[in-house]
Amino acid sequence: MGSKAWLGNVLLAKTDIVNHVKLKLQEPTLESTALPTRVPLFVPAPAPQTVFITEMVRTGSVPTDGGATTPTTASARLPVADLAKLLVETRAFGAAATEAEASAMMRGDEQTALVSKRAAEAAARDIESFATGSLALFNPSLVEMPVSWRQTKERWLGAFRHGNRGTSSNRNESWPTWYSSSIVLAVLDDDLRLVRPLRILQSSDFFKATLFECQHEHHLYSAFGPEDARIFIEQQANGSETVFIFFNAHRSHQPNEPCEVSGGTRMYAAELNENMMPISVRKIHVQGEESILHGPQPEFPPGESAPIAGRLGSVEKNWSPFMYQAPSVSTPMVLLEYNVEPHVVMDFDASGHRAGVKGLWRSHSAPLAAWLQRQESASGQTFTIHGGVGPILMDKGLEGTKMYLSVLHTHTKNRDAKYQSYFYMFEARPPFTILAVGEKELPTKRHTCAWGASVAFPTNLLHVEGRDGPELWVLHGSGDNEAHRLVFSWSELQAFLPTLPQAAFSHVGMLASGSS
């Protein structure tokens, strides 16, 4: 049976359940759920499989003559670890959602019934994707795997977002009706090919007592599951390494509970153990934070952003971790880049899962403002600026002082917005002021998302010793559907770097680690 016919039978059966409840006023049992009980399990192929599309920058651009390496994820089936357990848990969530829908219908609560119905549909679609290994992996994050964790041929540990979406029956509505997300962990070899089966993490892996997610009242769609992980390694004083995963989620105990106005969707941090399972999962609290359940959306002074006076944005995501070594301190600090303009950087206390306790730095950049004005004047459009990429440390050649390099992206607020990415540099000392932005757009590959924008979303920056010398990798998600690796040789990189007065750049001092 085809996937469309199968899903149609799922929805038809669910409609029959609801009609039965309306007529008989009887509560459905879990056995009446329309979720599939048998899906053919995937048998992994022996050949190594890639999860990245790789583009090499040559003469300032990416060749269009077949120079890109295409992953097998679009056509092949990917192996999944602990698949039977994963399917049981997903099926249980779908059954609970179906039961919640029927209960809401009995009460006449149409909105909760709708959200619950979408949750059941999402579970059904996820079961099909997991069982067949048909996974769309995007928004990648990559670090070198701790040596003590590695087996033969293993080098990289990656985190990706996998997503399914529901489509509206109304052809005039382009927005998906729901999004269902999972975090996917992958162990890769030197050539970024899969070595182990993928580890799929759902809400139940992070929040044991939670069945549902809160929903934003101003959103046109429902969202389920953890999103957009950043994987990060902190070097401990004794030489050991702690692997963290930063992600955003919006947990709730009810299927249609409104999200809080401040930090409804918020950032969490968890350690990963050697089996790539999360432990010590906790939300990241900001110093002075308040819990604000209802009311208008947070408003901040012109030109400013959260966190201010304990107020967070309604959706918090893509905080970017990096390491900072203060001159007078022996132990490096983990910092989080929160925003690009104003440039907001906070410290992260892993023991208490708190941010901004020892330091919260906020700065404005005249060079960034001038750069943005040039961009908007040339295009006749107004842009918003976003970050999300963990900075890496570079040397400034003439003076020997250091600075951080990262990637920002801009887009308009239109439904058909186009994402454009640029390098920028900021001081390697508080308040971490942005010094310059590159004038040349990075040649990232954009694809159109289901919601209309043309997206190449940068997520990770890595310095790697390649076969022919040092390389800089820009990892990004394309169209909420693909994971890309944009590779710069050192000679190609120069044309894209920001220009600083009387400064030259050397690859000496760039850190070959995804953790900084």
Give the model confidence (pLDDT) of 455-464 as tens digits.
Answer: 999 999 999 9
- Do 120 and 97 form a contact (C-beta atoms < 8 A)? yes
Residue type, 385: I
- Do 233 and 514 form a contact (C-beta atoms < 8 A)? yes
Q: Could you give the count of Cα atoms lying within 13 Å of 165 in the half-sphere of its Cβ?
A: 15
Respond yes or no on whether the N-terminal peptide bond of residue 44 is cis (omega within 30° of 0).
no
- Do 195 and 187 form a contact (C-beta atoms < 8 A)? yes
* Cα dihedral 279, 254, 161, 187 in deg (nearest 10): 30
**Short-list 127, 130, 132, 105, CA closest to 34:** 127
Lowest mean pLDDT among 168-182, 227-241, 459-473: 168-182
Domain boundaries, the chain: 1-46+73-294+303-317, 325-516
% of the chain beyond a pLDDT of 90: 57
Give the model confidence (pLDDT) of 76-114 as tens digits.
Answer: 689 999 999 999 999 999 999 999 999 999 999 998 999
State pTM to two decimals.
Answer: 0.85
Q: Hey, what are 129's tokens?
A: 């994707």
% of the chain beyond a pLDDT of 70: 78
Q: Which residue has the tokens 């295009």?
A: 379
At residue 468, does pLDDT exceed 70? yes
At residue 41, does pLDDT exceed 70? no
CA–centroid distance for 288 within its chain:
26
DSSP class per residue in 128-179: HHHHHT---EEEEEEEEPPGGG--TT--EEEEEEEEEEE--S-TT--S-SEE
**Among 58-72, 188-202, 300-314, the range of highest mean pLDDT:** 188-202
Give the model confidence (pLDDT) of 365-424 as tens digits.
Answer: 999 999 999 999 999 999 999 999 999 998 754 455 689 999 999 998 777 789 999 999
Give φ, ψ of 88 to 5 degrees. Answer: -60, -45
